[in-house]
Amino acid sequence: MRLWSIHPKYLDPKGLVALWREGLLAQSVLLGNTKGYKNHPQLLRFKKTNNQTAAIACYLGSVAEEADSRDYNFNRNKIVDMVFKDKIPVTKGQLHYEFEHLLKKLQARDQGLYRKLKNHNDIEPNPLFDMVIGDIEDWEIL
């Protein structure tokens, strides 16, 4: 499961669809509807909020917004609750790590997008996240 901290606008079509599916799985886990993935490290930041299901719903909302901007049709009815007014901190180191991880994937599957992004330095987070100074997050599996 990869719940990207970077803005979904950087993802290729395959990556955006995968993120939507994985986000829905994460929502199911956080709702207690599945036995698997309960201890997945990327869920920790959602679990630390005062409303984990609203946080993942807000995350999914931003993914759906990106899908809308590309004329994709993601079913927003699958999102349970979108009321989350806080921001979750994410470190600058994590954003850069994820962006490099994405570039490796794009180099193999979308050369055009790879060339467009390879020299990009000002990496934006998913709108749910607030970038803070720091290294790669502790929960990241290296």
Averages of pLDDT over each 10 residues, the chain, 142 residues: 95 98 96 88 94 96 97 96 90 97 97 96 96 95 84
Question: What token pair was written down for 101?
Answer: 């991880």
pLDDT of residue 141: 84
Question: What token pair was written down for 94?
Answer: 């994590």
pLDDT of residue 81: 80
Cα 70 off chain centre by: 17
User: Is 90 buried (19+), middle (13-18) or exposed (0-12) by CB count in 10 A?
Assistant: buried
Q: Are 22 and 80 in contact (CB under 8 A)?
A: no
Domain boundary assignment for the chain = 8-132
User: CA 105 → CA 14, 102, 109, 113, distances in Å?
Assistant: 11, 5, 6, 11
pLDDT of residue 76: 95
